[in-house]
Chains A and B, each alone.
Chain A
Amino acid sequence: MTVELFIQYLVAGITYGSIYAIVAIGFNIIYNTTGIINFAQGEFVMLGGMLSITFLQLLPLPAAIALAVLCTMAIGAAIEMLFIRWLVNPGVLRMIIITIGLSILIREAALHIWGDNVHSLPYFIGNEVSTIAVLGARVSPQVLWVIGVCALMVVFLNVFFQATSVGREMRACAANRTAAILCGIDTRNMVTLSFVLSAGIGALAGAVMSPITYTQYDIGTGLAIKGFTVAILGGLGNSLAAVAAGLLLGIIEAFSVSIVPLAFQDAISIAILLVILFVRPHGLFGSSAAAGLKEF
């Protein structure tokens, strides 16, 4: 393998890896405040792309993306307030069924609105053929957009959770729900906020990746599986580990193309998921003690 090819695979791996990481962080944020896995997470990514494409007919690109992200956040809030909030002590199985149902609902609605065609946003800078040199290899500037925006989101989320009082309250809600209530924190609002945040980061990732990966009504399912694999790989609830795990999965997938046929690429993440669930259910980076405390 030439150095140039190597770098090209690596960059492709990092690009997809950062998208998987964002989807996984979306899973983690909701998991941390509620203990449930929101299988509609991939649909937020799809909505971010689709809505941006629609709004682009009326608005300039940055405004279209911003509006799409805001709309998806509103949808996230609505989902929580309509379907999650009023449940008293929902079981894990019940929640899984509800979120899977929601993902099917959103996907079918998207099929009706946008059809089954492949859509995409234009490249933010240049077009399909413009490239810039990275360590001797030529990559699309859009790739740098994806990596850059995903990295910024991770930094933003870290600052939000560590340095703001609302972020601290969300972590408190995740650490001990009863104690959070006793401190006067309205935990239900924190849960809504976690859906809003997850929807927002998913939608933004969905918009920046749209020019290179394209957007179709059903991309959410595949992304949810990848993101879930990454979340489990990193240890559920651990967002920094999710970044490492996301990049790992993206890079493994990218390089696997040179070994196994493209059609098997998706099978890789499923295989990794199964192996992890059997061998290290608390993830590569998680501790078994922490996993023991969680009911999932």
Chain B
Amino acid sequence: MLRIRNLEAGYGRLRVLKNISMHVKAGEIVTIIGANGAGKTTLLSTIAGLIRATSGEIRFRDQEITRMPAAKIPRQGCVMVPEGRQVFASMTVEENLLLGGRALEGGAKKELPALLARQYEMFPILRDRRAQLAGTLSGGEQQMLAMGRALMSRPSLVMMDEPSTGLAPLIVRDIFQIIVRLREEGNTVLLVEQNAKAALGIADRGYVLETGKVIIQGPAEDLLANADVQRAYLGREKIE
């Protein structure tokens, strides 16, 4: 589904991602874990086209998207739920969702009502709040709105950047349950998390990112059992 080869990207002169290679297969949950500043957000933003790669290649469903304008990438079926939710605060919940359906092409637009109903079924709280301004929702509700908005375009790959950050443990559990349900329904998820234990708990495979490089990769169980990973990311002290 997604294949990245020798990717390099950064901000101006600052090189953040160094020679990253990874892949995501259809139907998988793949997680990227790493400390603050490791380059996780930069990696997702580069895939989403918000940051230009300086070298390397990103292929999505057998098509090169490395230099595709960011606004075209959702139409290929690759969407991102950004860090910090980024809902349209001054617009209603329903408007936010409808905007997520913007990436649907021509004829698929007829499915908008059905897709809307589907998100309301998956996130019932959004139905109750449909006419409310997104900025007035709680953090957890905003996260669900951001996820629902991304799902409105029936994507084949959903990238999520730290969906659990800043949420109460009970809500975090809900969010992870929804991600598992997404996979059960045939979706593919690329999940960036600092909450490494929870992420590896639901993922099929994982990559550990450190200062812009992939240092360890493998099946989620292996990573959970890996001594280095345990020491750095699964320590007894809870990683926020």
Contacts and interface: CB of A to CB of B under 8 A. Distances in A.
Interface of A: 165, 168-169, 171-172, 175-176, 178-187
A176 B71 contact: no
B179 interface: no
Given A168-B98, A169-B99, A182 B91 contact: no
B50 A183 contact: no
B103 A183 contact: yes
A184 B87 contact: no
B49 to A, nearest CB: 8
B118 interface: no
B86 A179 contact: yes
Nearest to B45: A178
Contact of B48 (A171, A172, A182, A187): A182
Nearest to B76: A184
Interface residues of B, number: 27
Contact of A183 (B69, B89, B90, B102): B102
B86 A178 contact: yes
A179 B81 CA distance: 9
Interface of B: 48, 50, 69-75, 79-80, 82, 86-91, 95, 98-100, 102-103, 149-150, 153
A179 B87 CA distance: 7
Interface of A is mostly: helix
Given A179-B86, A183-B153, 16 more contacts: A168-B98, A171-B88, A172-B95, A175-B90, A176-B87, A181-B70, A182-B48, A182-B70, A182-B74, A182-B150, A183-B99, A184-B71, A184-B72, A184-B75, A186-B69, A186-B71
Contact of B99 (A172, A178, A186, A187): A172
Closest 7 CB pairs of A and B: A184-B103, A184-B74, A175-B88, A179-B86, A186-B71, A181-B70, A183-B102
B71 A185 contact: yes
A184 B150 CA distance: 10
B89 A176 contact: yes
B99 A185 contact: yes
A187 B90 CA distance: 17
Contacts of A179: 82, 86-88
Contact of B88 (A165, A176, A184): A176
B50 A171 contact: no
A182 B80 contact: yes
Most chain A CB within a 10 A radius of its CB, from B71, B90, B95: B71
Contact of B82 (A171, A182, A184): A182
